[in-house]
Every structure is written in C-alpha cells, then in structure tokens.
Amino acid sequence: MQARKRTSRRLRMPALHTQVLVGILAGIAVGYAAPHFGEALKPLGDLFIESIKMVIGLVIFCTVVSGVGGMGDMKKVGRVGGKALVYFELMSTAALLFGALIANLVRPGSGFAVDPARLDASAVAGYAGAAHAQSVAKFLMSIVPKTTVGAFAQGDILPMVLVSLLFAYVLSRLGEPGKPLRALIDSLTHVVFGIINVLMRAAPVGAFGAMAYTVGRFGVGSLGPLLGLILTFAAACAVFVVLFMGAVCRWAGVNIFSLLRYLKEELLVTLGASSSDVAMPALMEKLQYLGCSQSVVGLVVPTGYVFNADGTSLYMTLAALFIAQAMHIHLTLAQQAALFGVAMLTSKGASGISGAGFIALVGTLSVVPEIPLAGMALLLGIDRIMSTLRALVNITGNAVATVVMASLEREVDRERMRQVLSGAMVVETFAVDHAAEISTAVRPAGVRK
C-alpha cells in the first residue's frame, strides 16, 4: 500500500522540463510586471548556477577516471581525443563560415546609421582588458594548474581534465593493486550523480530567478532596436542545428529532433540560466544512459565545453559583420577573411571565462582596425539574450559530438539508444534510481554493437 502511495505521488508530480518551463514563464511575467522585484530575484538564479558548478569538478574526475581508467589502452584515449579535436575544429569553422554567410545575405545591421563618436567606448573597456589578457600562450599555460587541488578549487575545466587523465592513466597501470581504488571511485560516481539529482530539483526556482532578473534588468522594450539581429541570430542557430548538426547526427544513425527531445530538460535549464555550464553534469549522465560509453563521454564533453563552442563561433562572425554594417563600414573579402582567421583563434582563447562569447568578439575586433571597438557598445544591452542562444547551440553541439565520437569508436549501445530515443525506455530520476545501471550499461567492453 505504501509503495502504491509513493508511485501515485510521483505520477502526480509534473516532469522536470515542465516545472522548468513554468519557472521560465513565471520569471518573464514577474520581470515584466515588477522590474525592480525581478532584478532582486537574481540571487535565486546565481545560487542554482553556483550549486551545480560546485559538483562539476567531481563529475569530471569520477567520469574520466572510471571511464578512461577502465579502458586499459591509453593509445585509445589519445585516438579518441585527437578525433574529437579535429571534429571540434571542423564544426567551429563551419559555424564561423555560416555566421559570415548569414550576415552577408541578411545584412541585419544595414538599417542602422551609427556614428562611432557617439558610442560609449568606456562601457567596453573592461571586456577589452579581459580579451587582451587571454593570449594563446596564457591560455596554454592555464591548462596546467599550480597545484593538483587548485585545478578543482578554481573550477577551470581543462586543468581538471588534465589531472583526471593523469590519475586515470596511473590507475590503469596499477592493475590488481588499483582495483579497490577503482571500485571506490565507481561508488563515488553514484553518490555524485545522486547529488546532481537532488540539486536539479531546484532548477525551476533557479530558472525563475534568472529569467525574472533578465527581463526586469533589461526590459522587453530595450530589445526593439536590435530585434532584427536577435531574430537573425536565433534563426541562424536553428538552421545550423537542424542542417549541420542534423546531417552529422544522421550519419551517426541518430535523429537530431529525437536527441533534442531527449535533452529537453538540459536545454530548458540552459535557457533559464543563460549558461550551459549548469547542464554539464546532467548532460554527461544522460549521454551515458543513452548508450554512449563512459570513457567517450568523460573525454568529449568536458573538452568540448572549451573547444567546441559552435554557438559562440557562429555569433562572432555574425555580430562582427553586424557592427560593420551598422557603421556603414564596407569590408572586402580579404578583410572578412582576416576577421575569420582571427576569430578562429580568439574563440578558443576566451573559453572558460564568464561572458566568453562577448570577450572573444572584443578580442577579435581589437586586432581588426577597420571596425571601431566602440561598436561593441551596440551589443551590450542584448548580450544576455545572445548568450542564451549561444549556450543552447553549444550544449547541443557537445551532445552531438559525443554521439558522433561514440559511433566512430563503436562505443555505443545502438539498441539501448533506439529504445531511449523512441521513448520505450523512460527514466525520470536518472541519478538516484539508475546510477548503477548507467555504470554497468556503458562499460566500453560491453557496448560494441
């Protein structure tokens, strides 16, 4: 009788994506009706984001060590990592080219008549300083942490991946003496996923606070003059996901719409928080449950968050050409090619920084003298919305990349993936009820189907 009551109570509870959607809509309503109160709700969104970031280090460590450490073959780790980096560069390049193509075809800035002298260049000064500080050399140096613990204390993704890979490599070489430690880390993985499940229950509240702040702080009316750019970028993001990522998914034997439907909770949380970081732990968990091996997920997702920012790449060329068009600055094909080449570097150098897309764009324009840096002031008011769109494309791109890499390595359970995406295998609470199932279902040795 008690079990029946527990089941019925769970059935009456709306699904997480429904709760998050309600939170987003309520936040928009509150921010519009009471802007000052909406701004005051910002801590709700910040608290949720920080609580998820708190466990990202543990998720990366446990997933990489359990997956890679169980591989045994370190050559395979290098092969998967190399293929992933090549894939990331190809997709990022495609996004940069597509953004430039859309900007030249639609010309969203052609209706503006902006005088650079009347723009507030000081508003961009802080971002310019951060962009100049992120040179390629400093970016490479930042991969190696000052201390092992510091990699996890500072929260930077690449240092955490480096330490985890080193730990996994040594653990895989220990053989029999390393088995107790490997079992302990597997058990810790279940606990960490359980913590994520508990924290994700606060996602509707976090989304409510974040959206109330966004609408209350910037207002709906302030978006009017730049609405054309927002709509152009949103349409470009949708087309890129459906056509480019859809084609890649089709090659891997997956329907892009089925994958998006499966990841609806993570996409809505990203939408509400305007950040893809908060969805990383849940994304890694669900990709494993989908049938991708733990080793591939542990390698591809964390590195993809740094090197596979498709949304940011698309935004950079589109926004840069928008500013040039708004100021009636004609760029030749050679100048656009130079802009494209710089963007390929700056899109990687600013990864891992708050507001990375905006900072990367400032870094790009600062080395292209034809476009005044003051033009960035045009985008400050709408960057929160553009950041949300960038984050949605970025998280989708990392999910697609993981599925593709798992398919290339034959580290995917095709039958399981078919059942999950078709809805035949439905799970509402992944971490608590199915952590053990995930860890056994996605072992590399048992998924070659």
| Domain presence at residue 2 | no
397 has a pLDDT exceeding 80? yes
**Cβ neighbours of residue 231 closer than 8 Å, sequence gap 6 or more:** none
**Residues 150-198: tens digit of each pLDDT:** 878 877 777 888 888 888 888 877 777 878 888 888 888 888 878 888 8
CATH of the domain at 340: 1.10.3860.10
- Report CA-CA distances (Å) from 21 to 5, 364, 368: 27, 35, 41
Which tokens go with 106? 């639609």
145 forms bridges with which residues in the sheet? Answer: none
Cα 318 from Cα 260, distance rounded (Å): 24
| Residue 441 within any structural domain of the chain | yes
Please check whether residue 395 is in contact with residue 266, taking contact to mean a CB–CB distance below 8 angstroms. yes
pLDDT in tens, 33-79: 898 998 899 888 888 888 888 888 888 888 778 777 655 566 777 78
Place of tokens 């990864």: 351
Instruction: Please check whether residue 233 is in contact with residue 318, taking contact to mean a CB–CB distance below 8 angstroms.
Output: yes
- Say what the pTM is: 0.76
Distance CA 374, CA 277 (A): 29
Cα torsion through 362, 364, 369, 375, rounded to 10: -30
Phi, psi of 448, rounded to the nearest 5 degrees: -80, 85
9 found inside a domain? no
Quick check: is 4 in a domain?
Answer: no
**pLDDT of amino acid 329:** 81
The reported pLDDT for the residue numbered 116 is: 56
Number of C-beta neighbours around residue 230 at 10 A: 16
CA dist., res. 238 & res. 232, Å (int): 10
Give the domain extent around 178: 14-446
Predicted local confidence at residue 267, as pLDDT: 92
Residues 404, 410: contact at Cβ < 8 Å? no
As a whole number of angstroms, the distance between CA 301 and CA 280 comes to 8
Most confident of 143-147, 194-198, 290-294, 330-334: 290-294
pLDDT band at 123 (very low <50, low <70, confident <90, very high): very low
Per-residue pLDDT, 238: 96
Asked, for residue 303, whether it belongs to a domain, the answer is yes
Tell me the CA end-to-end span of the chain in Å, nearest whole number.
41
Helix axes 280-290, 414-422, angle to 10 degrees: 120
Tokens of residue 13, six digits:
């509870």
Residue 6 is assigned to a structural domain of this protein:
no
Is the CB of residue 284 less than 8 Å from the CB of residue 277? no
Within a domain: 3: no
Q: Are 91 and 397 in contact (CB under 8 A)?
A: yes
Number of domains in the chain: 1
Residue type, 315: Y
DSSP class per residue in 351-418: TTSTTHHHHHHHHHHTT-TTS-GGGGGGGGGGHHHHHHHHHHHHHHHHHHHHHHHHHHTT-B-HHHHH
Which candidate, 437, 436, 408, 418, places its Cα nearest to that of 190?
436
In a domain, 5, yes or no: no
